[in-house]
Amino acid sequence: MVEPIFDYQFRLILIGDSTVGKSSLLKAFTDGKFAEISDPTVGVDFFARLVEIDDGKRVKLQLWDTAGQERFRSITRSYYRNSVGAMLVYDITNRSSFEHMPEWLYEAKRHIEPHKAVFQLVGCKSDMDSDRQVAEEEAQQLADFYNISFMETSAKTGLNVEDVFTQIAQRIYRKIQNGELRVEDGWEGIKNGFARPRENLHLLEAEPHKNTCC
């Protein structure tokens, strides 16, 4: 029997300051693991996982984890243009990482254009509420100002780890349905899926990540 292993592939990029929790969030989502200590990303890391959204559609998320340090900006900028989604990630215990969100959003939009993308504001480390420097209400106000979605997460407890990725995939799919986004030749942001014999479906449920550096 042959059926779609995935109906679409969406390419997403995670951006934000260094050490805000991007890598931990991705590892929790793709591997179901949390590391107390995580080394800063060097260059770009790649992850992938399948999710199921509306109508039973299966979407392969191709996830690019970028380094937040300035010296890697020239490398990570090249990954913007082929992304259909961007997750703007900050640390709720680090106010400066939140204050930099408008700069990250501007940079992403500038490099993704002329293509359109779906943006999502993500607050990491919600389990560290006693050290909080950014109120959830304040982050929601910022998201509302830019007309983007917002969600707080915790890689440690698993809070909203699944939901934050499913939500952005859902929003991209709806924009495909209403014609705002589409598959385009020469653009990697959205790709059509392919079919595979049913007995092999388990092989791509999750893929190991790889590191891409200078």
The one-digit pLDDT tens for each residue of the chain (214 residues) are 455 699 999 999 999 998 999 999 999 999 998 877 565 555 578 899 999 998 899 999 999 988 754 444 555 667 788 999 999 999 999 999 999 999 999 999 999 999 999 999 999 999 999 999 999 999 999 999 999 999 999 999 999 999 999 999 999 999 999 999 999 999 999 999 976 555 554 544 445 455 544 4
Q: What is the pLDDT of residue 213?
A: 47
Q: What's the whole-model pTM score?
A: 0.85
Give the up-direction half-sphere exposure of residue 3: CA atoms within 13 A in the CB hemisphere: 9
Strands (E), the chain: 2-15, 44-52, 58-66, 85-91, 118-124, 149-152, 190-197, 206-212
Environment class of residue 196 by beta-carbon count within 10 Å: exposed (0-12), middle (13-18) or buried (19+)?
Answer: middle
Q: What is the pLDDT of residue 198?
A: 52
Q: What is the pLDDT of residue 95?
A: 98
Q: What is the pLDDT of residue 3?
A: 59
Nearest-angstrom CA–CA distance, 44 and 46: 7
Domains, the chain, with CATH or none: 8-192 (3.40.50.300)
What's the N-to-C CA distance of the chain in angstroms? 43
